[in-house]
Amino acid sequence: MKKRILALLLVLILVFTVALTGCGNGEDVPEGEDVSEGPIKLGYIGPLTGDYSMYGETTKEGAELAAEEINAAGGVLGRDIEIISYDSKGDKTEAVNAYNRLRDKDEMSALVGATFSGTTLSIKAIAKDDGMPMLSPTATHLDVTLDAPNIFRACFTDPYQGATAAVFAAENLEAKKAAVLYNIEDPYSEGLAEAFNEKFGEYGEVTNYEGYTKNDADFKTVLTKIAENEPDVLYLPDYIAKVGVILSQVEEQGLDVVAMGADGWDGIEGDYADVAEGHYFTNHFAKTDESAIVQDFLANYNEKWESDPTALSALGYDAVYMMAQAMENAGSTEAQAVVDALAAIEIDGVTGNIVFDENGDPLKSISIIQIMDGKHVLADKISIQ
Amino acid sequence: MTLLIQQFINGLSVGSIYALIALGYTLVYGIIKLINFAHGEIMMMGAYFAFITVITMGLPFLATLIFSMVLAALLGITIETVAYKPLRKAPRISALITAIGMSLFLQNLAQVIFGAEPKVMPDLIPKRPINIAGIQIGTVTIVTIVLSLFFMFVLDMFIKNTKPGKAMRAVSEDKEASVIMGINVNRTISITFAIGSALGALGGVLYSVAYTQVYPTMGIMPGLKAFVAAVLGGIGLIPGAMLGGFIIGMVETVSKAYISSQWSDAIVFGILILVLIVKPTGILGKNEREKV
């Protein structure tokens, strides 16, 4: 009997809490445009802990630097910008939770995120239904912006980047044979590998098209196999932690090959300067670019965070400026107006002059960087169509 | 032909690391019938011990190795005393679950202390290719194979010729009878854990030197493959673990080199399934009748 009463009580408590929180929501959020007081809230979602935290952190630092500069110059529409960041841990479910919290609890006006392609794709459907102005600084997968008029990105796509690397290898490095080694578990790596493979096939021969999984640490076997075909270029589209391991073994095996990579290589000179020496990668911007906007960005970033920015910091920085500019152009923070303004935007950013195509992908050139004496050297700027 | 030999050597170096770790699984299983799932994490801790030693004291390679093995042995003894000893009379499944818990505990401990980001292991051995009769072999590969074979030989001598070694064999044969014969079972079990953990640490140090990184989850995959190796060779049998380790390393290498680099893991685990269907006790295992 006692148990039954207890159960009844519990049910009652549950019902009441649900009812009460329901009411709470209704009262807290006034209908319409009453949220125009206080700072404009921009959401940010990225991996801030875990294996890929360095990527999420640097992007966030770039975004926060931009917000600080914009606020110091008077803000947007007379209001300050506030960046609210949540950790995705690089996990798709966490990203969706973060998005829901940003929308419902923090009432963000727009989203600058998410950071990785996988997490961005996981929130794509909800953001599209909400009509939320969404600008991913760094999600390079092709599908991110497809069929979603409200979703944009500040970086170039994987296929575009992979194809550019192939063109550079064939034309500038005069490579006849290339080998590809990619992570089969990662859409980023796979997308780049496929694009490179296809494009390089137009110029020469792809001798090996090999894969590995994220837990693989031994590449000696596959490198021995690749070495047999004597390729001129080895394409390694993955992130630093893995590329560093592969390049160390390339060195140890004494493989005579020029390696090429993608924007995931940015920062490789930190831990792997020795083994990355002389190799190339495609990137969003070059630190040695002399233009004022790049040099100012480098100086301000250094001052605020006491470290050097990566390309991801530059993209986070540009993304916030683009979003602010769009709101300024739209004259409001209303979602549809911001989306329309974003689609029509033209802006000079750290990562180049940016205009969006009809998908919401930026049209801009790609920098090819070579690691020389442990530093980035701009080898070329390429734009292919 | 040179390519084949080169791949054979690659397989040998991967296999020897698996064999070292597999020995830890098999020694412990042989003596207390426990699959010590925390063994992969002991390997990981061994790598961290070496990393810290190099960073703080800058010792040369061999000194670092010995130091890390000793620390790992102490860690192994501690784990056994704290987590497994109180459960020795409990059902086997309780100890197994404790082992899984211990594995997660060590992983998270490493994550809290060192952070999740991979640390770069300094080059303890100068890395360069050595040319032997037209075959390119890396220095690390050679060191890995030589050290592994050396310690396996030492282990074999220890088990066969020393008193504690004989005690280990006796306890694994029949625990009650060895008590009657005056063998200190608790001490023997501690020694077994110490040896297994030291070999695991050796594997971990070689692994982290070869693949340049130390990180909290580095023990999972090698640990799993070494476990497979131990089962494949016949768990509880020392030659079985060595054989299993080398077979797994070879299969992995051959499938990467000649079949498909994308499918190598699937092939490795597929072979395990095949062998276990044909011979459930493993390659060297004897079909024993259940004791009544």
For A216, which residue in chain B has the nearest alpha carbon?
Answer: B221
Q: Which residues of A touch B (CB under 8 A)?
A: 49-51, 53-54, 184, 210-213, 215, 217-218, 220-222, 224-225, 227-228, 241, 244-245, 248-249, 251-254, 271-272
Asked, colleague to colleague, whether A39-156+290-365 and A159-283 share their fold, the answer is: yes
* Beta strand A110-113 pairing with A81-87: unpaired
Cβ–Cβ contact B208 with A under 8 A: no
Is B129–A253 a contact, with Cβ atoms under 8 angstroms apart?
yes
Answer positive or negative: Cα dihedral of B197, B201, B203, B204: positive
> How far, CA to CA in Å, does A83 sit from each of A56, A67, A275, B29, B68?
14, 7, 37, 54, 45
Q: Which of A220, A224, A245 to mutate to test the interface with B (most CBs of B within 10 A)?
A: A220
Number of domains in chain B: 1
| CA A42 – CA A324 distance, rounded (Å) | 10
Which are the contacts of A230, defined by CB distance < 8 A and separation ≥ 6? A177, A207
Q: Chain B partners of A248 at a C-beta cutoff of 8 Å?
A: 127, 211-212
What pLDDT is attached to residue A36? Answer: 61
Is A50–B116 a contact, with Cβ atoms under 8 angstroms apart?
yes
**pLDDT 10s digits, B278-292:** 888 888 877 665 444
Per-residue pLDDT of chain A (385 residues; tens, 9 = 90+): 566 766 666 666 655 555 544 444 434 444 444 456 789 999 999 998 877 888 899 999 999 999 999 999 998 998 999 999 999 888 889 999 999 999 999 999 999 988 888 899 999 999 999 999 999 999 888 889 999 999 999 988 888 889 999 999 999 999 999 999 999 888 889 989 999 999 999 999 999 999 998 888 889 889 988 988 999 999 999 988 899 999 999 988 888 899 999 988 888 888 888 889 999 999 888 888 888 899 999 999 999 999 888 889 999 999 999 999 999 999 989 999 999 999 999 888 898 888 888 888 988 888 899 999 988 888 888 876 5
Q: Chain B partners of A184 at a C-beta cutoff of 8 Å?
A: 262
Cβ–Cβ contact B18 with A under 8 A: no
The DSSP H or E segment spanning B223 is helix B220-233
| CA B25 – CA A59 distance, rounded (Å) | 43
Is B116–A248 a contact, with Cβ atoms under 8 angstroms apart?
no
Is A241–B118 a contact, with Cβ atoms under 8 angstroms apart?
yes
Is A51–B117 a contact, with Cβ atoms under 8 angstroms apart?
yes
| CA A190 – CA A111 distance, rounded (Å) | 27
For B11, which residue in chain A has the nearest alpha carbon?
Answer: A221
The 3 state secondary structure assigned to A103-132 is HHCCCCCEEEECCCHHHHHHHHHHHHHHCC
Helix (H, G, I), strand (E, B) or coil at B260: coil
| CA A280 – CA A288 distance, rounded (Å) | 15
Chain B: closest CA distance from residue A254 (Å): 5
Residue B285 is assigned to a structural domain of this protein: no
Q: How many CB atoms lie within 10 A of CB A334?
A: 15
Chain B: closest CA distance from residue A241 (Å): 7
In this structure, what CATH number is given to the domain that contains residue B15?
1.10.3470
| CA A346 – CA A364 distance, rounded (Å) | 11
Q: Count how many residues are written for chain B.
A: 292
| CA A83 – CA B120 distance, rounded (Å) | 33
Chain B: closest CA distance from residue A269 (Å): 13
Residue B99 is assigned to a structural domain of this protein: yes
Q: Which of A209, A218, A240, A249 to mutate to test the interface with B (most CBs of B within 10 A)?
A: A218
Residue B210 is assigned to a structural domain of this protein: yes
| Inter-axis angle of helices A311-330 and A335-343, nearest 10 | 120
Structure tokens at B53: 């030693």
Q: Which CATH number fits domain A159-283: 3.40.50.2300, 1.10.3720.10, 3.40.50.150, 3.40.1390.10?
A: 3.40.50.2300
Cβ–Cβ contact B111 with A under 8 A: no
| CA A183 – CA B97 distance, rounded (Å) | 33
% of chain B with per-residue pLDDT over 90: 50
Residue B75 is assigned to a structural domain of this protein: yes
Cα–Cα–Cα angle for A210, A214, A217, rounded to 5 degrees:
80
Residue B287 is assigned to a structural domain of this protein: no
| CA A126 – CA A119 distance, rounded (Å) | 12
Chain A: closest CA distance from residue B168 (Å): 34
Cβ–Cβ contact B112 with A under 8 A: no
Annotated domain spans of chain A = 39-156+290-365, 159-283
Residue B289 is assigned to a structural domain of this protein: no
Chain A: closest CA distance from residue B175 (Å): 39
| CA A222 – CA A219 distance, rounded (Å) | 5
Which residues constitute the domain of residue B87? Answer: 2-278
Q: What predicted TM-score, i.e. pTM, was given to this entire model?
A: 0.75
Chain B: closest CA distance from residue A18 (Å): 36
For B264, which residue in chain A has the nearest alpha carbon?
Answer: A212
Q: Chain A partners of B6 at a C-beta cutoff of 8 Å?
A: 224
Is A221–B252 a contact, with Cβ atoms under 8 angstroms apart?
yes
Q: A39-156+290-365 domain in CATH 3.40.50.2300?
A: yes
AA identity, residue A349:
G
SS3 content of chain A, % helix, strand, coil (to 5): 50, 20, 30
What pLDDT is attached to residue A24? Answer: 42
CB contacts < 8 A (A, B) = 89
